[in-house]
Amino acid sequence: MKTTYTFLICFLFIYNTNSQEQYLTKNGVIKFFSSTPIEDIKAENNQVLSIIDTSTKKMAISILIKSFLFEKALMQEHFNENYLESDKFPKATFKGDILNFNKIGGLETKCDVKGIITIHGVSKEIVIPSIFTRIGNTIFVKGEFGLFLEDFSIKIPRLVVKKIAKEIKVTFELNHKPYKK
Contact 143, 128 (CB under 8 A): yes
Q: Does residue 8 sit within a domain?
A: no
CATH number of domain containing 172: 2.40.128.110
Q: Does residue 72 sit within a domain?
A: yes
Residue 87, φ and ψ in degrees, nearest 5: -70, -35
For the chain, how many residues are written? 181
pLDDT at 20: 61
Contact 142, 131 (CB under 8 A): yes
Q: Does residue 10 sit within a domain?
A: no
Domain interval for residue 70: 20-178
3-state DSSP assignment of residue 162: helix
Q: Does residue 13 sit within a domain?
A: no
3-state DSSP assignment of residue 133: strand
Q: Does residue 25 sit within a domain?
A: yes
For 64-103, what is each residue's pLDDT tens digit? 999 999 999 999 999 999 999 999 999 999 999 999 887 7
For 146-178, what is each residue's pLDDT tens digit? 999 999 999 888 888 888 999 999 999 999 999
Q: Does residue 2 sit within a domain?
A: no
Q: Does residue 9 sit within a domain?
A: no
CB neighbours of 79 closer than 8 A, spacing ≥ 6?
Answer: 43, 68, 70, 86
Q: Does residue 75 sit within a domain?
A: yes
Q: Is the pLDDT of residue 30 over 70?
A: yes
Q: How many domains does the chain have?
A: 1
